[in-house]
Structure 1
Amino acid sequence: MVDSIHPPAEADAPSIPVRRGPEPVRPRQRRWRRRRLNRYTGAPFVLISINLLLFATFFVWPAATGLLYSFTSYTGVGDAPWVGLANYQRLLQDDAFYSALIRTLIYTAGVVPLTIVLSLGTAVLLVTDYTKGKTVARIIFFLPWLISPIIAGVIWRWIFGENFGLVNYVITKLGGSEVAWQSNANLSMFVVIIAAAWGGTAFNMLLFVAALKNVPTAYYEAASLDGAGSWAKFRRITLPAIAPTTFIVVLLSVLHSMKEYALFAAINDGGPGTANNLLVQYIYTKGFERAQIGYASAASFVLMLILMVVAIVQLAMNRRKES
């Protein structure tokens, strides 16, 4: 009777599960996680260490040395006396520097549009379904990119030679008179522009081919249903779709054209005389032929600043168009 009156013991009571919070992270686990995070963070630096070493060896160190020489009157031998900003002041007062800069801008303004038109037109022909022999055509059009600029310059100099050139030979056989391709400054510049556009078309063509293949075909099908013609499709669909690639091609073409040297040296060596000397030829003449390393270094950094300004302006214009 006593047992039936008293409540059951605590041992017989049903157990209620209790939820516990997450266990605190131990110091060892935290250290292990930090080490693992650092290991994964440092892996990319290990993978690109060789590229960083090459970049520092062949770009950063020469650039720092050139910047230091630009404030000296170093001649390539002996000491390098400090002259401060004298080289830059002399450069801004040199008429030959401004003439070379103007010719560089004229050359760039002639090469870049012609290269864009040729490379884009060739890419469109290679992508369209109506073109036959695309594989062979791509190999032929890409060959100029594989030829050294020096060899390409020699070929174009032989083609447009005054006394031995192929073009003048054909002209004289047809009853005409020889054209002064080399002794006329304007014609000589024209030959270099044609040669540069011919050499730069191949690589840009590949970029445009890849961009054209990424344009969705559904856009063209919808435009065909609306009655749009080929030119309307190209202007309304193709050009906006490949705008990022066009920007890259224009930027690279401008930078490459403003640094051109080998092609000019092989075709006319900046001639006749110094009439077609560009900025790079001007820098080479001052630095290596006249042993004015400090002055040439100052001109090189001015050219680098011009290229940086051109790149920044083009990037800003591209961002405005995207926004």
Structure 2
Amino acid sequence: MTALTTPREASDRGGPVADIGPLPARRGRRQHRLAPLIFISAAVVLFILFFLWPGALGLLYSFTDYRGVGDLNFIGTENYRELVGDDDFYRALGRTFLYTALAVPAHYVVSLAVAVLLTSKTAKGKSIARVVFFLPWLLSPIVTGVVWRWLFGENFGFVNHVITQLGGSSVAWQTDGTLGLLVVVIAGTWASTAFNMLLFIAAIRNIPRSYLEAAEIDGASPAQRFFKIQLPLLAPTSFLVILLTTIGAMKEFAMIQALNGGGPGTENMLMVQYIYRTGFERADIGYASAVSMVLMLILVVVALIQMRFDRKSALS
């Protein structure tokens, strides 16, 4: 029998080495390792440029008295010590929590209700309704604020015009802080319903129809089927919607800036508006950066608390 030799053994013996060609399997493994790295690298670069680097820069500024020009003068934790006694900061923080407490339930209930209606077998005109409910999400927050400012303006608003035509008196939508916050909540709910609605529609369609059909055969009413079957199975999506809506509400800026500028006065000034005014209008970049770091810490704590509750509910 002829002994088989490998190319390395043949070269060691001084014999000719056969050309066995490329190794497709090994080259394929190399390509499979390289392709994920290429795709991940783009996300890593974007993460570093638009999150990690600005975050590190903001943390650095928070320990300085930087005002946008000149050198960085390190002042330690003076900005944070000043923040502890800042009444304007606490008012903005309290108003942000109040807005979040009002906006999150409104966003959740409205988006879930719309999703249930659009997935109902008896609903008519669902295609047109999807387009109508989705259009507000396509608008920028600035445009949303301008539209609702036109609707609820005190002297020129469409809503007050209708009220006066019906014999009523104009409502102080812009000079009353409570009514101004209510308009912001309504406008925010109108603008964000579409995205949350899509999440709920996808989740509802993934619920096995056999569960609902079995409950219907057993005599369960539509309300019982929803609260006993659909709503518990929507828990993961509900957690995601509540988490994203909470973070978005606490970072709200563009819409409320265009709608009422945080007014009347500073009564409805939220945290991001306070950061904007401190950093850009007062040119106190260092102090605004310290406020930004506190807001980021609050958002991290809120996210961790919600994730812990979600984990407990999943284990129970």
Q: Same fold (TM over 0.5)?
A: yes
What does residue 296 of structure 2 align with? Answer: 304
Please, what TM-score do these two structures have when normalized by structure 2? 0.90
Give 1:92 deviation, angstroms: 1.3
Which amino acid in the other structure matches residue 240 of structure 2? I
> Residue 171 of structure 1: which of 160, 163, 177 is its match?
163
The question of 1:78 aligning with 2:70 is answered: yes
> Residue 51 of structure 1: which of 29, 43, 48 is its match?
43
Which amino acid in the other structure matches residue 97 of structure 2? L
Moved more, 70-79 or 32-41: 32-41
Larger Rg belongs to? 1
Give 1:35 deviation, angstroms: 9.1
Cα shift readout 1:205-243 (whole Å, capped 9, x = no counterpart): 011000100110100111112111111100110001111
- Cα separation, 2, equivalents of 1:38 and 1:302: 45
Runs of 5+ unmatched residues, structure 2? 1-7, 9-22
Please, what TM-score do these two structures have when normalized by structure 1? 0.88
The question of 1:238 aligning with 2:230 is answered: yes
Which amino acid in the other structure matches residue 303 of structure 2? A
Give 1:59 deviation, angstroms: 1.2
SS at match of 2:268: coil
Which amino acid in the other structure matches residue 53 of structure 1? V
What does residue 22 of structure 1 align with? Answer: none
Measured on the aligned residues, the alpha-carbon RMSD in Å equals 1.9
The question of 1:193 aligning with 2:180 is answered: no
What does residue 29 of structure 1 align with? Answer: none
Give 1:37 deviation, angstroms: 6.3
What does residue 317 of structure 1 align with? Answer: 309
The question of 1:111 aligning with 2:103 is answered: yes
- Cα separation, 2, equivalents of 1:92 and 1:37: 57
> Residue 282 of structure 2: which of 256, 273, 290 is its match?
290
- Cα separation, 1, equivalents of 2:28 and 2:308: 40
> Residue 116 of structure 2: which of 119, 124, 137 is its match?
124
- Cα separation, 1, equivalents of 2:105 and 2:314: 22
What does residue 214 of structure 1 align with? Answer: 206
The question of 1:161 aligning with 2:153 is answered: yes
What does residue 53 of structure 2 align with? Answer: 61
Moved more, 74-83 or 221-230: 221-230
SS at match of 2:269: coil
SS at match of 2:167: coil
What does residue 278 of structure 1 align with? Answer: 270
> Residue 97 of structure 1: which of 74, 81, 89 is its match?
89
Cα shift readout 1:23-61 (whole Å, capped 9, x = no counterpart): xxx9xxxxx999986764453222221121111111111
Which amino acid in the other structure matches residue 322 of structure 1? A
Moved more, 64-73 or 43-52: 43-52
SS at match of 2:76: coil
Give 1:299 deviation, angstroms: 0.3
- Cα separation, 2, equivalents of 1:315 and 1:231: 29
The question of 1:133 aligning with 2:101 is answered: no
- Cα separation, 2, equivalents of 1:36 and 1:218: 44
What does residue 251 of structure 1 align with? Answer: 243
SS at match of 2:123: coil
Runs of 5+ unmatched residues, structure 1? 1-25, 27-31
- Cα separation, 1, equivalents of 2:127 and 2:158: 29
- Cα separation, 2, equivalents of 1:210 and 1:34: 41
- Cα separation, 2, equivalents of 1:284 and 1:69: 15
Which amino acid in the other structure matches residue 264 of structure 1? I
SS at match of 1:71: coil
- Cα separation, 2, equivalents of 1:322 and 1:35: 43
Aligned-pair identity in percent equals 56
What does residue 143 of structure 2 align with? Answer: 151
- Cα separation, 1, equivalents of 2:293 and 2:31: 39
SS at match of 2:131: helix
Give 1:132 deviation, angstroms: 0.9
What does residue 13 of structure 2 align with? Answer: none
SS at match of 2:190: helix
Aligned residues: 296
SS at match of 1:227: coil
